[in-house]
Amino acid sequence: MAATLEVADLTVFYGKRRAVEGVSLAVGPGEVVTLLGANGSGKSTTLRAISGLVRPARGRILLDGRDVTQAPADAIVAAGVSHVPEGREVFPEFTVLENLLVGGHRVARGALPARLEGAFELFPILRARRRQLAGTLSGGEQQMLAIARALMTRPRLLLLDEPSLGLAPMLAREIFRTLARINATGVAVLLVEQNARRALRLAARGYVLETGRVAAAGTSRELAADARVRSAYLGLGQTAAPPCAGSAGSLG
């Protein structure tokens, strides 16, 4: 079976600055894969290239074996990819319901009620807030809305950029429990997340980016045991690594 996503030798420039160089990665059907790395390492740029928001200078991006390297962003959405960017980027002057409808603009009118109901079942607080302006929601509620909006197209691959950024620990844990539920329905996830320990608990595998290149790759257990990864991203020394499930089952 073909990988849901294959990225080969991806290189991206912003003007003359090379943001990503030679990045290769893959996400299998229904798999959670995490991208780790310091700020400025190329994680967000990689997601933006996959979703068609920036054009690669070199490399290939395949979705289910189909080359979408030069496809426009709307065609990539139609192919089954949804992107939740860093900072949520909800429409603050729209209500919660209007934001969800924007996410579902490609959905047949007859299917919209079921999609909305699915969003409200996943995030019940959004049902209560559906007439509220998105700009007046809390940070955690805006993140829920951004994820729910991305799911309106029922993607096969969900790109998530820092979903727990700026959230209180309790809300961050709730977001990650919900991501586990989403993945359990068969949605593959490519996750960028500064909280490396939490990301490795959810993901089966991961890649570490450093100055735009892949510096390490492996299963979550392997990365959690890697001395350099533990020191740089987990804030731990070189003692034995703690258990790492590498699955959605342990999200403490």
Q: Encode pLDDT of 153-199 as tens digits.
A: 999 999 999 999 888 889 999 999 999 999 999 999 999 998 899 99
Query: 10 Å Cβ neighbour count for 32?
Result: 28
CA distance 170 to 221: 25
Q: Which two tokens stand for residue 9?
A: 């030798």
Cα torsion 209, 213, 217, 222 to 10°: value is: -50
Residues in contact with 155: Cβ distance below 8 Å, sequence separation at least 6, in sequence order: 77, 80, 81, 82, 187
pLDDT above 70: residue 23 = yes
Q: 61, 51 in Cβ contact below 8 A? A: no
CA distance 171 to 246: 21
Residue 237 is predicted with a pLDDT of: 53
Q: Encode pLDDT of 74-90 as tens digits.
A: 999 999 999 999 987 89
Instruction: Give the angle 56-158-170 at the CA atoms, nearest 5°.
Output: 125
Q: Domain 5-199+209-213 in CATH: superfamily? A: P-loop containing nucleotide triphosphate hydrolases (3.40.50.300)
